[in-house]
Structures are given as structure tokens and as C-alpha cells.
């Protein structure tokens, strides 16, 4: 983006804060903007037929939330929830769409990001079908370590409960050590 385009985005954004467990948006909402994570971790969840949340993805600093719904002009098919205290930037839909129309490099970057998300979703679907609970748990722990880093004491820099792990790997809480 040019300096002028960045200034327009910066001038249009607002800062928002959420506490652990706060809902950023619910499944089925029509979004009027895109969220960018400044700090903290959010989870994208889908309510299943049993009334339990299935965690689809964890997102951290620098990642976007809601861009697919803005581009497709569809209601959200997932809910976004703060996993811990989160600071977000919110950029209005009109600003995002204008940037997509006038800046082909920005549009290409967005397309690449969406393609990467689609690839990850395909990989996750294959993992759910072909890997055991133990394998999925081990891979999840490695991914969390790589994505969020490790504290001085050796723990992963994102705190998750057994319920969280079960929701991420698609199993019952009792199956998670």
C-alpha cells in the first residue's frame, strides 16, 4: 500500500479491547469491517449439533478476522471469541473494499492469504479423518509452540484448558490427557 492508502486505513481504524471469553462476533452476523489482532489470542469456533463449540482456528498478533465474510458479502459461519485479553484494530468494510479495488498488490496479498487459509482448512480436514487423537494432540502442541512461542519456564505462551485442547482436535475432553 502507498503511504496515502496506509494513512487512510489508519485514520479509519478504531481500537477495541476484549477480555477472555468475550465474543467478538457471533456466527451468522453480517460484519461491517475487519479485525486485526494487535495482542492476545482469539479463537474461531463453530457450534456443533450437540451445543458444543468446535475450535476451528487460533489466531494471534497480526492476523485478521472477518476478511472472508467481507469479501464474500456473506454472514459469518463462525464465531470469534477472545481466548485471553485481546486488543484489536477494526477497519470498516468500505475502507477494505476500496483498498481492494484500487490496489492490485493489496488484492493479490489478500488472495494469497485466503488461499493459504483454504489450504490449512483442507489439511485440518484430512488430519481429522486420517490421524488418531494422540497424533492430532501432538501436532497441535507443536503448532502452538511454533505459532505462539515458549516462555522462560518452557510452557507455551498461550494458556489452554483440556476443554480447549479437546475442542481444537475434535475429541471429548476425557480423551485429552
Tell me what pLDDT residue 6 has: 64
Residue ranges per domain, the chain?
Answer: 3-102
pLDDT tens over the chain, length 177 residues: 667 766 666 667 789 999 999 999 999 999 999 999 999 999 999 988 888 888 999 999 999 999 989 888 899 999 999 999 999 999 999 888 888 888 898 889 888 988 998 898 888 888 888 888 888 888 888 888 888 888 888 888 888 888 888 888 888 888 887
Domain 3-102 has CATH 2.60.120.10: yes
120 Rama sector, left if φ>0, alpha if ψ -120 to 50, beta otherwise: alpha
Cell numbers standing for residue 95: 475502507
Q: List the grid coordinates of 81.
A: 471469541
Q: What confidence score (pLDDT) does residue 59 get?
A: 93
d(CA 80, CA 24): 5
Q: For every residue of 101-152, which 3-state class applies, written as one string?
A: HHCHHHHHHHHHHHHHHHHHHHHHHHHHHHCCHHHHHHHHHHHHHHHHCECC
Of the chain, the end-to-end C-alpha distance in Å amounts to 46
The pLDDT assigned to 21 comes to 93
What pLDDT does 63 receive? 92
Rounded CA separation 103/76 (Å): 25
Cβ atoms 90, 35 nearer than 8 A? yes
Whole-angstrom CA distances from 129 to 43, 53, 121, 150 are 22, 19, 13, 29
pLDDT of residue 90: 94
User: What pLDDT is recorded for position 96?
Assistant: 86
- Are the C-beta atoms of residues 139 and 127 closer than 8 Å to each other? yes
Q: For residue 24, which of 73, 66, 71, 68 has the smallest C-alpha distance?
A: 66
Note the pLDDT of residue 10.
66
Amino acid at each position: 500500500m502507498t503511504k496515502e492508502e496506509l494513512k487512510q486505513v489508519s485514520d479509519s481504524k478504531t481500537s477495541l479491547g476484549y477480555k477472555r471469553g468475550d465474543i467478538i462476533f457471533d456466527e451468522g452476523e453480517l460484519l461491517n469491517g475487519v479485525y486485526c489482532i494487535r495482542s492476545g489470542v482469539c479463537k474461531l469456533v463453530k457450534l456443533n449439533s450437540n451445543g458444543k463449540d468446535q475450535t476451528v482456528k487460533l489466531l494471534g498478533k497480526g492476523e485478521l478476522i472477518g476478511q472472508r465474510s467481507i469479501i464474500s458479502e456473506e454472514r459469518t459461519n463462525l464465531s470469534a471469541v477472545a481466548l485471553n485479553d485481546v486488543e484489536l484494530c477494526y477497519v470498516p468494510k468500505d475502507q477494505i473494499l476500496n483498498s481492494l479495488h484500487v490496489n492490485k498488490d493489496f488484492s493479490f496479498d489478500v488472495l494469497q492469504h485466503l488461499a493459504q487459509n483454504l489450504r490449512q482448512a483442507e489439511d485440518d480436514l484430512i488430519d481429522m479423518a486420517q490421524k488418531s487423537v494422540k497424533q492430532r494432540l501432538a501436532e497441535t502442541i507443536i503448532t502452538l509452540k511454533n505459532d505462539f512461542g515458549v516462555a522462560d519456564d518452557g510452557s507455551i505462551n498461550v494458556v489452554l484448558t483440556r476443554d480447549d485442547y479437546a475442542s481444537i482436535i475434535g475429541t471429548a475432553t476425557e480423551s485429552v490427557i
